[in-house]
Structure 1
Amino acid sequence: MTELGPTELGSAIEPEVTRFVPFLKWAGGKRWLVTSHAHLLPKTFNTYIEPFVGAGSVYFHLQPDRALLGDANSELIATYKAIQSDWQGLVNSLKYRERRHREDADTYYYWLRGQAPEELTQRASRLIYLNRTCFNGIYRVNREGQFNVPRGTKNKVLIETDDFAGMSRLLQGAELLAGDFEDLVDRAEDGDLVFADPPYTVLHNYNGFLKYNEILFSWADQQRLAQALQRAARRGAQVFCTNANHQSVRSLYDQPEFKLEVVSRYSHISASSASRKYFEELIIRANI
């Protein structure tokens, strides 16, 4: 990775700086946003706040000097903390897991899937290993919080785009918190940027994927998020939220503080390439 030159506090980096490729495949990831609609993202801001960090596509694209990153998934936040504090130990653990996987993929995958390590680096390498070798890169847990996706066909645990050393340097400027989104959004102040990408739950929708999201993120949570973002906008924070383009969601943000825009993206969430298609998404920005 090239050396970073001086940047404006919290601002997006210059185009010539090497870009990171997110290390996870995550449902609802925003690679499409930074690929096709990066021009919509703010260029300057103070602290970057992302309460649903997921694979971190926007964070790794903007590379802010100061960040507050959160997620309800404690295993995910533990993974970011491991990269932040001991990326070399993480790489060594992933190398070990790759050797074990090559020896007997089925036995090792299902054994590790049933484990719950407590040490930070081991938790992180388990999540990355499962994400890269499970079916279709899906992260899904049952009602007891246990990862339950079967093994897929991919066998590579370390890949060419991995830059854990560079990510670790970037994450030195980040505070990482596992927990509810509202606590993070409420910390946004004048000049900060809040990027919110919640699970796409809509009112009165019986689509299977969105019904699953309702378990993770209820309609009441959608309402709570809209109210928290409205408060942040009133404090002078820049708000950028992606959400489902559905009338029930649009009605939540039909407020003077926001402007709405519809964009298209290509969906990769399907086992069959024939059933993957373009979807409309809603972008909500602070009207400042």
Structure 2
Amino acid sequence: MNIEIKKEVNLPFLKWAGGKRWLIDKYGDKFFSNPDRLIEPFVGSGAVYFGLSPKRAILCDKNADLINTYQAIKDDWQTVVKHLKIHDRNHSYEYYYKLRSQKNRSYAAKAAQFIYLNRTCWNGLYRVNRKGEFNVPMGSKTKVVMDTDDFEKISKQLTNAKLLSGDFTLAINQAKQGDFVFADPPYTVKHNNNGFVKYNEGLFSWDDQIRLRDSLQEAIKRGAKVLVTNAYHSSVRSLYQGMGEIMKLNRPSIIAANSSARGIYEEMVIKCY
């Protein structure tokens, strides 16, 4: 059964490397329609979650700061917006680096800091050093509060979403009959034909790829519908052979230091239902 993407949906309020807004916009027919619950073990910017607008969801990510941001908007969006407006008024080169190094205690302050840095750093990239400190330089964007922002609506939507921070198995292990699992693990497509496995080790190890496949297989046995995205590479095709329909899709890449490094890349979707 195919999905009909709703026209009045919340746009993702974060820019995210590897985000799947292009997939939900261009290939919405690949998604399972009207599941009892959507499960995303790698939620990222939540493009699929906001695009499908499910009645219930489990949203998980290893990035604790990201999940904290969703939790803060869910619980107290007004205070998040209050902090965000302060950042908007004070944004400057000096302010960016001062706030980047700041340690906040409250969920709302941390969330506003996360959104501010995401919107004003270089290409919305999330990167931390060995100490776990965000270290992306300031980018060219100056807009902090967007005309499209509707955090009240997002908060209401998140009311029926269970938020988890940690390994992908925390979410997938809860999948059962009636659930739809959308698994979008970290991966690069720029090295599909040049040391793909080695280059991806720093993002998501091959052992993790195998663990993910095994975890999804168990979810399917329990009756869940599964859609997986990954790089279109022979090793990945072999890994998922026999699990479902393997499709090759094209997508544009815009996150690169210069325009010459951007282009069209091949990605894989495995439809297991």
TM-score range, shorter chain: over 0.9
* Structure 2 residues not aligned, in runs of 5+: none
Could you tell me which residue of structure 2 aligns to residue 279 of structure 1?
265
CA separation of 1:14/1:112 partners in 2, compared to 1, >3 Å: closer, same or farther? closer
Could you tell me which residue of structure 2 aligns to residue 172 of structure 1?
159
State the 1:13 CA deviation: 7.2
Q: How does 1:1-288 map to 2 (within 5 A)?
A: 15-16=6-7, 18-101=8-91, 105-200=92-187, 206=195, 211=199, 213-255=200-242, 257-286=243-272, 288=273
CA separation of 1:38/1:133 partners in 2, compared to 1, >3 Å: closer, same or farther? same
Q: Please give the root-mean-square deviation of Cα atoms over the aligned residues, in Å.
A: 2.0
Secondary structure of the 2:201 match is helix
**What is the rounded CA distance, in whole Å, between the counterparts of 2:72 and 2:194 in structure 1?**
38
* Structure 1 residues not aligned, in runs of 5+: 1-10
State the 1:72 CA deviation: 0.2
State the 1:205 CA deviation: 5.2
State the 1:24 CA deviation: 0.5
Contact residue 203 and residue 248 of structure 1 kept, 8 A = no
**What is the rounded CA distance, in whole Å, between the counterparts of 1:207 and 1:223 in structure 2?**
15
**What is the rounded CA distance, in whole Å, between the counterparts of 1:14 and 1:224 in structure 2?**
31
CA separation of 1:203/1:280 partners in 2, compared to 1, >3 Å: closer, same or farther? closer
State the 1:135 CA deviation: 1.2
Summarize deviations over 1:5-51 as a string: whole Å, max 9, x none: xxxxxx967735x1211000000000110111011111121111001
Summarize deviations over 1:113-146 as a string: whole Å, max 9, x none: 1122121001101110001111121111122211
Amino acid at match of 1:88: Q
Amino acid at match of 2:172: V
Contact residue 53 and residue 69 of structure 1 kept, 8 A = yes
Q: Normalization by structure 1: what TM-score? A: 0.89
CA separation of 1:123/1:13 partners in 2, compared to 1, >3 Å: closer, same or farther? farther
Aligned length, in residue pairs: 270
Larger mean Cα displacement after TM superposition, 187-196 or 214-223: 214-223
Q: Normalization by structure 2: what TM-score? A: 0.93
Contact residue 182 and residue 228 of structure 1 kept, 8 A = yes
Identity %: 49
CA separation of 1:166/1:111 partners in 2, compared to 1, >3 Å: closer, same or farther? same
**What is the rounded CA distance, in whole Å, between the counterparts of 1:225 and 1:261 in structure 2?**
19
Secondary structure of the 2:13 match is coil
Amino acid at match of 1:268: I
